[in-house]
Each structure stands twice: as C-alpha cells, then as structure tokens.
Amino acid sequence: MSVWLRILALLFAIPVSLPMLTGGQERDTVANHEPSSSNNQEKVSGESDFRALADFSFTDGVAALVKAKQSWREQRSCVSCHTNGWGLAAQPIIDPRSEEVVAGRVFAQQYLTKFIDGDEKPHRQYGSVEGMVATAAFLAMSDARSGKQIHPATRKGLDHAWQLMDESGAWEDWLQCNWPPFESDAEFGPTLMLVALGELKEITDLKWQDKSAVQRLSNYLTNNPPQSLHAKTMRLWAGQSWPKLVPEINKNKWCQELQEAQALDGGWSMASLSGPSWKRDGGEGQTTSSEAYPTAFVTYVLHKTGLATQKSVTDKGRLWLKKHQRKSGDWYTRSPRRDRKHYISRAATSFALMALAEKTTKAKPSPVK
C-alpha cells in the first residue's frame, strides 16, 4: 500500500464530529463517555457470569463500585447519574468509613464550585444543567447520610440549581437524549431533587429558598403526571418526605402496580418500569426478563419507604440480587438504549448494594470533608 493510501485509510478510520471540525461545541451525553479501560462492550450476562449464591460478597460489590467510580473520575472528570452519581449517594450507606466517601465528595464539591465560581466555563457536558443539578442533589444526599451539616459546596450547588430552575418548576434544559431513566424526560430532575431535600431536612433546617423550591418542584410534578412506573417509584420515594406530593389513592395504586410487576423469580424487568420515551436504538423494546437495575432500584425504594405490603416482596428482590452478582463483583444491566455502553450497570451496582446493606437508615457519621 502506498504512503498516500495509508494516510487516507487512517483519516477515514478516525471518527471526527462536525462541531470539532467547525470549532463549535457539541453538548455531550453519556453516550459519548467511553473510558478506554472500562468494559463498554460487555456481553449480555449469561449464567456463567454469575457467582454461586454461596459466593455472594458484599465487600467485593463495594470494591467493584469504588473501582468504577475512580475510573470515571480519572478519565471523564465529571459526575454522571449513570455512573458515579448514585455511587456518591450510596457510599456513606454501604461503606461509611472508607476513604472513598471523602474522595467522592471532594471531587463532586470541586466539580460544582469550579463552574459556579467562574473558574471554568461550561462546555459540552461539563457544567451542564443536569450535571450541576444532579451533583448538588447527590451531594445533599451524601451530606445527610454522612450525618453532617450541609457542606458549603452543597449549599452553593443548591442555590445555583434554584437560579437555573425555570418558571415551570423544572429544569427545561435538562438533557433528554433518550438515555433512560435519567436523561429521557423532564421529571427525573425534580423528583431527584425532592428526594435529596427530603433527606437533607433530616439533619438541618432548610432555607426559605429551598422551601420555595420544594413547592415549585411539587407543583410541576402535580401538573405533569408520571409517564412510567419508574417515575411513579421516584415519586413514591420523594413522597415519603413530602406527603402532599402523592395522594393516598395514587400511593396505594402505584405500590400495587410495583408488586404486580415483580416477576416469579423475584426481580423486575426494564420493560416493566419503562415509559414511552424509553426507546432502544433500532426500535427494539426494553428487556422483559428480570435485570439488576430495576430489581435493585425497586427493592431499595420499597424497603426504604416501608411501602411494600409484604416483607416477602423485598426479600425476594434481595435474593434475586444475591443470585445475580457477577464474578467481577458488580451487577450487570443491559443498556436501555444500545448494546455497547452499559453504564447503567454502575447505577445498578449502587442500588444493589444499598438494597443489600444491613442498615439502610442514616449511617454513622464518617470522617468526611
């Protein structure tokens, strides 16, 4: 092959986005995050990938989550709901005295303040609305679960979130790029923030700005009915702190729907929680067999809120999770969008560990900053 042919082959082999060529900025999504060392081409787990029930290890699960969080911080330098965000909230519950509690919090605090204080300008996904709001919410949950008063960086993040909020009571610029369940509709942000503020008020008095935000967020959700069982579950979680959010008739109905959606094997499927905006590339429907993320998410929320009408519901969910821990220590979930980036497995691992933790109440104070 001639030199020129080699050069042309290399040029056509390297994907280059149009904004890069034109000097513009493309708003990034979780779809474009592909750390080189992570296993993004994961195969759908088969029975051979799972440990024997006798080999279940909570400690190995924690280690796998910490490794994934550290890798994301080092390679992507941001906070993402699919990867390290839920891990930030989970760490004080699953391993309250670990160094990772401090490391995760410090990273998130610095991520927030560098954009809020103007040291760095938002670009692509960095400093985006959903990233700033979600990071503030996860930090608020971490503050509450660590037994600490609200950290100054968390306070800055919440105040910034209220400035970004639209008159509707939501963040209308929240990225909706068909990466469910966190980037597919406008209501995940409001419910996440209500969950966070609900936990935060257990350790400190909320400012009047926070209370005003609670009212605006609640009004938005009241005026916009949930479009999926996942959204209903988030509202049930938030409603434990803000009872007016979910009328009693809806609470009972939605709890019944959740319990009826539980499969015979004790798990929940992605299809059972999905809504109209949950679309896989190519038009394929969501997976109908039990998977780790929906099982862990529902099991944790039902246990934490005490809404399961029978203890066997959550017991079966926990047993399913123990039976489906991978040999690597984590919990795999097929991407609800495409089969080459299964980032939701990180969120699945966070929720699985929270669901399996011996104590899901507020952790003992840890030496966090």
Q: If residue 294 lies in a helix (H) or strand (E), which one and from where to where?
A: helix 292-305
pLDDT at 81 (0 to 100) = 67
pLDDT at 47 (0 to 100) = 58
- How many residues does this entry show for the chain? 369
- Give the Cα separation of 212 and 11 in Å (integer): 54
- pTM for the structure as a whole: 0.85
**Is the Cβ–Cβ distance between 332 and 42 less than 8 Å?**
yes
**Is the Cβ–Cβ distance between 252 and 153 less than 8 Å?**
no
For 48-356, CATH number out of 1.10.10.10, 3.40.50.360, 3.40.50.300, 1.50.10.20 equals 1.50.10.20
Name which of 339, 278, 269 is nearest 298 in CA terms. Answer: 269
- Give the Cα separation of 357 and 149 in Å (integer): 23
pLDDT at 31 (0 to 100) = 40
Instruction: List, in sequence order, every beta strand (DSSP E) within the chain.
Output: 268-269, 290-291
End-to-end CA distance of the chain: 59
pLDDT at 35 (0 to 100) = 38
pLDDT at 358 (0 to 100) = 59
Residues of the chain where predicted confidence (pLDDT) is lower than 70: 1-48, 81-82, 127, 358-369
99-116: b or e for each residue (b if 16 or more CB lie within 10 Å)?
ebbbbbbebbbebbbebb
Dihedrals phi, psi of 326, to nearest 5 degrees: -80, 165
Reply yes or no: is the peptide bond before residue 247 cis, omega within 30 of 0: no
**Is the Cβ–Cβ distance between 42 and 188 less than 8 Å?**
no
